[in-house]
Structure 1
């Protein structure tokens, strides 16, 4: 992806850039990189979605079907094959694990979900509905403890993080309002008074700086609006051109995008590139404050874009993904699922024979015991690092 970014402050031949000028150029470059990344997300995802829908999802349907076959095969074995109590317990555990994983799949219809939940309830001492309630209560308690709020009796939707964040924000706001209403004035020491006075002073200075920065953006927009107002043009083609430019300026001003406004000024030759080097240091600081906020907003937008992408395609929420990773993700996901499906088919064929089933249960149980022992050992060695 290529784009020309002519907006920068060039150093004079006899004088280096000031710190504020260097920061201005650095922020411009950072914002342009962030915008390029956002454009790459928008450009590459349609191709990713087509491949995901045509190559990966059919394999996922097949995987779900094979896992259901395996669960039903094991269920039949539990009813028809004489097993030791240890093997029975292992079999129940495996069936419940398979069903739990299947119930997170988006490919199942309501009838299949009902059948699987019934199968889970058959092999679990706790019903699926009760287990989900316990899981939700546990997560709710963890969220309440982490953020110091009460979410009340309202259920939380674990499949919709945005709804959970809205619910959490509302609870935190209500908690803050309650604390404000119930607080009582108390005597403060001189040290506390000085701290409060310093805090208020810093707050006022910050508010003044933000106001001045906002006025700088407003001033640029007014100059553009005065120059670009389409109603003052008699030529239809020029009126249409200025209408489009005015729309861009209005959108940039509304979103507080200083970079766009400055680039528009260059585009309509309202300023020259060399003019930026003549900006007063205070004015440049105001610009840098606005550009910094614009970059922070883009950072949040990028994080939200990446998180939404991972949520849409049920990818690892902890993985770091860039738009350039999309072809690799499809290739690796398809290859891994093809291998898993091949192994599941082989397992279904092999477990038809009771002796093979018993050997597999014994091996699985030993593997589970080993994993538990390793977890306990690591927990003892690193008690603060285990979750």
Structure 2
């Protein structure tokens, strides 16, 4: 593991604000990288445990719920024996369960047709018509909210609509930024702006020069042809691949880190960098940290979506075991409830009591 690149505290003076910020950002980046690695390490064992302990319960629960829908469909096919209110309850639940089944991406074409037909037998609106109306409502709402003209646009799905709206909004933002940049370019810069620009250009030029110098030193020290044996040549080749990647990306901080790793420099070299250089480094570090934090949030969201989890707070890769236990308990409960409901629907008298209970419980939409 690479050593952390931080500026050491001198014995007779304090670090400057930019130097302290540099160290703080380096530690935060190191923590974010470790957390990202923790996600990489934690996901495979969690996925394996989920497949073994939770997925069978989920499959059993969904199969029982589909059996409930099939039993309701059979009762609804009988012309007599049910009141209008009882039929309404059974139709609503059967339609919701059919839609739940249709959300399964693994359904075959024949299974999809079966559940669509079951839904349409009992729904006030056929599924295709209901989805078309919902898409129109969503399009009107987005047009009103964003001010975009979507009137003559046709979309096959909500996802396609959202992608189109996102692209249009991104284009609007890009056009606005380009116009703002053009207006700024037309304005004569102030003396203070000219000074800041000159300082930035000087810092960037110094960074570019340092970039080339560090790369040349690393390339000279790590040339595989100068290695004493094959093992060392392989180590140098791997390091040079990292050096080349960092140089291509103009990532001076990564190159300095590699110098520290191969002991070409010590952290005292960094302490002698100018204030302008350190401030430039800090801007780069902050950008990297923001990107890493965004990636960590995306990892957590993808994890929850993949395993259909809805934790109270953002999951931590070091604490996934309780989520597995909770998911197992939740699906075990769904198996119990769906099995109980299916048993209650096997006989007419019990089914009537079940319908009465459904009315009283007023289960949320989706069941």
* C-alpha separation in 1, matches of 2:19 and 2:98: 60
Question: Highest relative contact order (Cα 8 Å, sep 6+), 1 or 2?
Answer: 2
The Cα shift of 1:45 comes to: 0.9
Deviations 1:75-128 (A, max 9, x none): 222233522222221221111111122222244332222111111101101111
Match of 1:112 in 2: 111
Matched residue SS, 1:352: coil
The correspondence of residues 18-37 of structure 1 with structure 2, limited to 5 A, is 18-37=16-35
Match of 1:383 in 2: none
Match of 2:59 in 1: 61
Deviates more, 1:343-352 or 1:112-121: 343-352
TM (norm. structure 2) is: 0.82
* C-alpha separation in 1, matches of 2:313 and 2:104: 20
Deviates more, 1:68-77 or 1:330-339: 330-339
The correspondence of residues 9-88 of structure 1 with structure 2, limited to 5 A, is 9-80=7-78, 82-88=81-87
Match of 1:223 in 2: 213
* C-alpha separation in 1, matches of 2:10 and 2:245: 34
The correspondence of residues 1-387 of structure 1 with structure 2, limited to 5 A, is 5-80=3-78, 82-150=81-149, 153-155=153-155, 157-158=157-158, 167-175=164-172, 197=187, 215=205, 218-229=208-219, 233-235=225-227, 237=229, 240-255=234-249, 257-316=251-310, 320-368=314-362
* C-alpha separation in 2, matches of 1:150 and 1:92: 38
Instruction: Report the CA distance shift for 1:154/1:281 in structure 2 as closer, same or farther (over 3 A).
Output: same
Deviations 1:2-32 (A, max 9, x none): x564321222233222211111111001100
Unaligned runs of 5+ in 2: none
The Cα shift of 1:172 comes to: 2.8
Aligned Cα RMSD in Å? Answer: 3.7
TM (norm. structure 1) is: 0.78
Unaligned runs of 5+ in 1: 184-192, 373-387
Deviations 1:135-173 (A, max 9, x none): 333334444444443466342655x6xx77654443235
Deviations 1:286-344 (A, max 9, x none): 11111111111212222232233333333349852221233222222122112211221
Deviates more, 1:11-20 or 1:315-324: 315-324
* C-alpha separation in 2, matches of 1:297 and 1:164: 27
Instruction: Report the CA distance shift for 1:255/1:123 in structure 2 as closer, same or farther (over 3 A).
Output: farther
* C-alpha separation in 2, matches of 1:172 and 1:126: 33
